[in-house]
């Protein structure tokens, strides 16, 4: 039976790189003799324009009935000054909450050809391989109250976590570390924040169930520095929502561009949403030059984590690596070789997929 994939292209470069994703899926379909059926739905700014809300109920329903979901990106200057509940970003936060996608996996791998694309010294980045496990449905992005008070002269955001929310993401952190090199760095700000002190306590508690995993704690400010100075000292990182958001964008310096970083957002069932870690890149939207690799590797993560097709995921990863290895890249990467646009880069990757 056909696997039902909901496509949420969103805004800015979202639709441009989603086209690449669908072409790659079509190739997988041919090579592996599987059928995908696609349903496209609105989210973010495009949904505000078409439905007056960044997350229409029809989009939530389509996602709930899907085998898996791909998302491009949301947001852009057009919607920066509308009322908060209608901001495109609320659509993304809303779908994460509606589907309980609490575990966000953000791998940072330096493909060999990217070693010299990084602004960091190559001996620091060669072989770096990090997985950031980011809590995705709690913390500052969701806590209430969040409001202006005192005639607009005071502002409140709320950082709230329950014990259960921390425990479940900690288990994902430890389980991920078990499948890798058994080292887990829990990142917090326990010298200042009560929420971080509870985070650290729970990390210690849960670690008793994973005796083989070496657990270390790192304060987020020091972690931000060490990620750049010693990226290879990390294996798996587990952290709360805001810290994970910031640290993963920072980590894009390691492979040299945010345009190659993909992610999986998973719940406790088997449903997942797969998306690049970057945003809608309004500065390059409409020019056809976005790097499609972040989206194409999100397809690979979907095949791996959601559709039980690890071989197909491998074909995509190998083809991406080969394209980069042969010098083909988009303009966001500072490396030797041939600069291609989004469509040409996708063509190259698909050409190599056919040869796998
Ligand atoms: N998951 C999502 O949908 C996210 C949405 N946003 C939204 O996106 C909009 C723009 O946010 P920014 O802060 O500019 O972050 P951004 O991630 O969109 O862009 C940051 C920089 O990275 C570049 N970049 C990003 N993706 C690229 C790709 N695939 N290829 C080549 N270059 C790429 C952009 O051109 C820009 O210079 C905002 O409205 C923001 O709220 C931001 C982050 C995540
Ligand atoms: C709501 C989003 C714009 C948050 C974000 O930047 C992300 O998830 O990477
Ligand atoms: Mg972000």
pLDDT digits (tens, 9 = 90+) for 54-81: 999 999 999 999 999 999 999 999 999 9
Give the H or E element holding residue 244.
Answer: helix 241-251
Residue 245 Cβ contacting ligand 2 at under 6 Å:
yes
Is there a catalytic annotation at residue 189? yes
Question: Can you read off the two tokens belonging to residue 241?
Answer: 């929502």
Residue 258 gets which letter from DSSP? G
pLDDT digits (tens, 9 = 90+) for 257-310: 999 999 999 999 889 999 999 999 999 999 999 999 999 999 999 999 999 999
pLDDT at 31: 97
Dihedral angle sign, alpha carbons of residues 220, 221, 227, 229: negative
Number of H helices, E strands in the chain: 12, 14
Q: Separation of 117 CA from ligand 2 center, angstroms?
A: 25
Q: Separation of 245 CA from ligand 2 center, angstroms?
A: 7
Question: Can you read off the two tokens belonging to residue 17?
Answer: 């790189």
Give yes or no for a contact between 298 and 279, defined as CB atoms under 8 angstroms apart: no
Give yes or no for a contact between 9 and 15, defined as CB atoms under 8 angstroms apart: yes
In terms of Cα–Cα distance, which of 51, 116, 109 is closest to 232?
A: 109
Give the H or E element holding residue 28.
Answer: helix 14-32
pLDDT digits (tens, 9 = 90+) for 127-171: 999 999 999 999 999 999 999 999 999 999 999 999 999 999 999
Residue 268 gets which letter from DSSP? S
Residue 1 has pLDDT above 90, yes or no: no
Q: Residue 55: what are its φ and ψ, rounded to 5°?
A: -140, 85
Beta strand 236-239 with 272-276 is unpaired
Domains of the chain (ranges; CATH) run 1-102+288-356 (3.40.718.10), 103-266 (3.40.718.10)
- The mean of the pLDDT values for the chain is 97
Give yes or no for a contact between 281 and 12, defined as CB atoms under 8 angstroms apart: yes
Q: Where are the beta strands (DSSP E) in the chain?
A: 3-10, 36-40, 68-73, 103-109, 129-135, 143-149, 154-158, 183-188, 214-219, 236-239, 262-266, 272-276, 328-329, 338-339
pTM reported for the whole predicted model: 0.98
Residue 2 gets which letter from DSSP? P
Question: Can you read off the two tokens belonging to residue 341?
Answer: 């646009």
Is residue 148 part of an annotated ligand binding site? no
Q: Name 293's Cβ contacts closer than 8 Å, sequence gap at least 6.
A: 259, 260, 320, 330, 345, 349
Reduced to 3 states, what is the DSSP secondary structure of residue 129? strand
Residue 54 gets which letter from DSSP? S
Q: Is the peptide bond before 145 cis (omega within 30 degrees of 0)?
A: yes
Residue 21 Cβ contacting ligand 1 at under 6 Å:
no
ipTM of the complex: 0.99
């Amino acid at each position: 039976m056909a696997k039902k994939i909901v496509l949420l292209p969103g805004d800015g470069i979202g639709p441009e790189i989603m086209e690449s994703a669908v072409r790659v899926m079509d190739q997988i379909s041919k090579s592996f003799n599987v059928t995908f059926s696609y349903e496209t739905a609105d989210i973010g700014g495009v949904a505000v324009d078409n439905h007056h809300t960044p997350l229409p109920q029809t989009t939530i329903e389509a996602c709930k009935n899907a085998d898996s979901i791909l998302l491009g990106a949301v947001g852009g200057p057009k919607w920066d000054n509308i009322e908060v509940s209608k901001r495109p970003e609320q659509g993304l936060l809303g779908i994460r909450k509606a589907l309980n996608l609490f575990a966000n996996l953000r791998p940072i791998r330096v493909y060999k050809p990217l070693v010299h694309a990084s602004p960091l010294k190559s001996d620091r980045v060669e072989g770096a391989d990090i997985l950031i496990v980011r809590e995705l449905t709690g913390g500052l992005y969701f806590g209430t109250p969040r409001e202006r008070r005192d005639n607009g002269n005071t502002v409140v955001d709320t950082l709230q976590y329950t014990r259960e929310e921390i425990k479940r993401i900690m288990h994902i952190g430890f389980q991920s570390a078990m499948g890798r090199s058994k080292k887990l760095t829990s990142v917090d700000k326990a010298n200042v924040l009560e929420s971080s002190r509870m985070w650290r306590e729970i990390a210690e508690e849960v670690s008793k169930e994973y005796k083989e995993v070496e657990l270390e704690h790192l304060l987020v400010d020091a972690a931000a520095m060490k990620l750049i100075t010693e990226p290879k000292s990390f294996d798996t990182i587990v952290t709360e929502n805001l810290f994970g958001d910031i640290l993963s964008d920072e980590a894009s310096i390691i492979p040299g561009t945010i345009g190659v970083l993909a992610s999986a957002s998973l719940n406790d069932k088997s449903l997942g949403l797969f998306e690049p870690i970057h945003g809608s890149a309004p500065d390059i939207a409409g020019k056809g030059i976005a790097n499609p690799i972040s989206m194409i590797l999100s397809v690979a993560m979907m095949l791996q984590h959601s559709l039980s097709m690890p071989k197909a995921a491998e074909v995509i990863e190998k083809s991406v690596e080969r394209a980069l290895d042969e010098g083909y890249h988009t303009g966001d990467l500072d490396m030797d070789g041939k600069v291609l646009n989004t469509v040409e880069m996708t063509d190259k990757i698909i050409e190599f997929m056919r040869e796998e």
